[in-house]
Structure 1
Amino acid sequence: MTQQPPPAGPADPPDGPATPDLPDRVVRIYGELDLSTVPAFAGGFINFGYWSGLPGPADRLLTESDRVRSEEDLYRLVLGTFDRPQGRTALDVGCGRGLGCALALREFGLGTVIGLDAHPDQIARARKANAALLTASAQTSGRLEFVQGAAQRIPLPDDGVDCLFSVEAAQHFRDLAGFAREAARVLRPGGRLALTTFFARTRSAARELPALLPPYTDGLDVPHVVDEVAGTLTAAGLREVRVRSVGDGVWEYYDRYMAQQPELRDDWPRRYLTAYETGLLDYYLLTAGAG
């Protein structure tokens, strides 16, 4: 199994996919092919991970436990940008199996966490994976909910959340301006947004990436340019948009982990590290305020 998504499946029926807001490739990857089962994404999370906080010598052999922790630490990096989150309401856009939502409740003391995903299969998996927490939530201070919906049409009322976060999902968004407007709408005055994923560094890099990385050519990802993403958030009314590169804690470690795994290394093309080292791509943390 490679780091790359599984091969494309059969064509959709003539009436189209059951999730019209999503491209066919995204529907397949997060539906029947279930990317969370790919060994490269150990633990059920689906992200490259943030590896800087791992204990021990920097050059030691990386384990599957390290891989899972790196994925959790990426959520911790994002959630750690929120000031005094205890008791507040948070929205996770592109929640996948909802494991980051559970971490947010467990470690950051949020009062309510709403997981939003456009794919119905992901929402079903999130409810199954967090069944115990969902059952117990009515009797505890933390509450958890999963809702199907698109990032550009969030099914929540105006001024409904204090914190909005999204971890490695925005590279799929076709309508980033719509997402930005919706984020500004659902955040209360003084609310905060934190977004992390990989973006192209420049427009020329965005043009080069499809030739290097198949997910940009097969319809899975969009080579958004980081400065344009930041500008889109500002244009939607969010303020104090900040961009921070965190690629030094992502790419080299992930590449080394893949190379050390016998069942993964022969198929690992190392193209994300190449894109990073040649200045085409990086991993970013973007933060902004509302109101």
Structure 2
Amino acid sequence: MVPDDRNPSPAMRPAVRETYGPADLSGEPIFAGGFINFGYWRGIDLNAPLDEADRIRSQQDLYRRVWDAVAPMDRQRLLEVGCGLGMGCALALHERHPAGVTGMDIHSAQLGRARKTHAALLEQMPGRLRFVQGAAELMPFADAEFDVVVSVEAAQHFPDLEAFAAETARVLRPGGRAAIASFFTTGGDASHQGLTLSRLLDTFANGLDIARPVTDLTDALTASGLSRVRVESLGPHVWAGWDAWLSRLYAPDSWARNFLRVYEQRILDYYLVTARRP
């Protein structure tokens, strides 16, 4: 059963509400195919002209890289935290054959778009795909309900990583696995790094993304009782491709191009963090 003695669901932060609410962010030119992530560009020729097919592949490949870290997924119960439009959920059903996929997002507008986008799939696979509203810090699910929990490029928005880690541990069955892909600071002087990111990147300046070291997440997962906590940099296969794609749309001195800059300055990196419930 879902615990009924917890605090009310956390309020959505204004920057998250505004970014993902009025318009479909996946419709922006920098995104394609309904996904909203920077992409995993390994195997894509960055010296050749990039097209939309390359962009979609990069975003799908990021999901595939995350799933590989928690394989196998066939006949498993999968939860995606921060599912957005649900493209990753649908791709998982087609490629990894889980018993069921639950996409959870805090934003009702995103969930409405997800249900509309995947209406045919929801009808074709009753009981195998669902979209549920909930916060990463207070998930509306029973204890040990899932075999696998993943989150792809959403944790940079979560205000309370300790609560997210605790909920991840709670909803995983014993032996269940978790994989979180997102961008964090590399460590060092947190105050200086936060100021630099706020100066160079709009998403940190407006509060959409939160500047924290990746150790905040790994420490939270360990404190929640999860084991085998591992962290791997995906930066070499994320930032150069993302910047190459952005170069089609933005000038070198524009804010969007500063992601590669802060990576090269060793301030921000893209990580894959994995853990297991004992």
Do the structures match in fold with TM over 0.5? yes
1:44 match: 34
Q: How does 1:53-64 map to 2 (within 5 A)?
A: 53-54=43-44, 57-64=45-52
Aligned residues of 2:30 and 2:245 also touching (Cα < 8 A): no
User: For residues 1-54 of structure 1, what are the alpha-carbon distances to aligned partners after superposition, in whole Å with 9 as ceiling and x for unaligned?
Assistant: xxxxxxxxxxxxxxxxxx962111110110003211111011111100000032
Q: How does 1:234-253 map to 2 (within 5 A)?
A: 234-253=222-241
1:119 to 107, 125, 131: 107
1:272 match: 259
1:164 aligns with 2:149: yes
Number of equivalenced pairs:
265
1:155 match: 140
Q: Distance in 2 between matches of 1:180 and 1:82?
A: 16
By how many angstroms is 1:84 displaced? 2.1
Instruction: Give the match's secondary structure for 2:144.
Output: coil
TM-score calculated relative to the size of structure 2? 0.92
By how many angstroms is 1:83 displaced? 2.8
Q: Distance in 2 between matches of 1:163 and 1:100?
A: 14
Instruction: Give the match's secondary structure for 2:30.
Output: helix
User: For residues 191-224 of structure 1, what are the alpha-carbon distances to aligned partners after superposition, in whole Å with 9 as ceiling and x for unaligned?
Assistant: 0000001101115223432122121121111012
- Percentage identity across aligned positions? 48
Q: Distance in 1 between matches of 2:153 and 2:72?
A: 24
2:25 match: 35
1:25 match: 15
* Greater Cα shift, 208-217 or 150-159: 208-217
Letter in 1 for 2:114: A
Q: How does 1:1-291 map to 2 (within 5 A)?
A: 21-54=11-44, 57-138=45-126, 143-204=128-189, 205-259=193-247, 261=248, 264-266=249-251, 268-269=254-255, 270-291=257-278
TM-score calculated relative to the size of structure 1? 0.88
User: For residues 68-123 of structure 1, what are the alpha-carbon distances to aligned partners after superposition, in whole Å with 9 as ceiling and x for unaligned?
Assistant: 11001000000111232111100000000000000111101111000000000011
Structure 1: stretches of 5+ with no match in the other structure: 1-18
Instruction: Give the match's secondary structure for 1:80.
Output: helix
